Amino acid sequence: MKTNAVDGVLRVGLVATDPLRILGLQTIFQDGQSVEIVLLTLAGTLEEAGLSMVMIDSSCTEYLFELLATFRRTHRRLKVIVLGLETDHEYVQRVIAAGAKGYLAHGAKESEVRMAIEVVADGSLWAPRKVMARLLESTQEAAGPSGVVGAPHITEREGQVLRLLVAGRSNREIAVVLGVDPGAVKSHVGRLMRKVGVPNRIALTMEAVNRNLVPK
């Protein structure tokens, strides 16, 4: 996970107006050791020192897609996660296509919020699994045959990483279980995605299950 070089804390800007939602997100990361939630306003600066990610509650603006377009134009380095009530896969696909790197439903569990932030910080997309499955299907249909035939060769260590990934573990959790550096886990996940022919870790998880790639 990319963090602030000075203190090792990932600072995540939050654009929201619902006090309960703000409190809930701040409470999840109240220790401030790995993630700090920085409350922003739509009129406030997005150049807050150290910000590398922004979460936008779609219920606080009628112009979500215009706002996402602005981010793509003027703040490309900032990764955006959208929070929303919608669960329809077509809506979420529109949000991702508009430039968001992640989507979380308002009812997302604490573990999902933590995982989403870590996954997006690591450079992958995050969305509900059904939505990611549709995105994967759309990508594969548009690209045609991927050329990936049969089961790819997976090393013993990659198999261990894949098994834990399918179990829902984050890179840091996998690193602790295997006794390795989180950077090494990220490298293994990247190689697995290339071998399987998928664009992100959620798609990797689904493909691993669907194709029985997880070593027994």
Could you state, in order of their start, the residue ranges of all structural domains in the chain? 10-136, 150-210
Residue 140: its pLDDT value, please? 53
CATH class, domain 150-210, is mainly alpha
Residue 214: its pLDDT value, please? 83
Residue 86: its pLDDT value, please? 86
Residue 142: its pLDDT value, please? 47
By the 8 A CB rule, do 59 and 85 touch? Answer: yes
Query: DSSP string spanning 35-47?
Result: EEEEEE-TTS-S-
Residue 42: its pLDDT value, please? 53
Nearest to 209 by CA among 132, 156, 107, 111: 132
User: How would you class 135 by CB atoms within 10 Å of its CB: exposed for 0-12, middle for 13-18, buried for 19 or more?
Assistant: buried
Given CATH 3.40.50.2300, say whether it is the number of domain 10-136.
yes
Strands lying side by side in the sheet with 10-15: 35-40, 10-15, 51-57, 79-84, 102-105
User: What's the predicted TM-score (pTM) here?
Assistant: 0.70
Residue pLDDT tens, the chain, 216 long = 445 444 678 889 999 999 999 999 989 988 877 888 988 865 455 555 578 899 999 998 899 999 898 888 888 888 999 999 987 878 888 888 888 989 999 988 898 899 899 888 887 788 877 777 666 665 555 444 444 556 788 999 999 999 888 877 888 889 999 999 989 999 999 999 999 988 888 778 878 877 888 877
Dihedral class, residue 8 (left if φ above 0, else alpha if ψ from -120 to 50, else beta): left
Q: Please report the sign of the dihedral spanned by the C-alpha atoms of residue 53, residue 58, residue 60, residue 62.
A: positive
Residue 5: its pLDDT value, please? 42
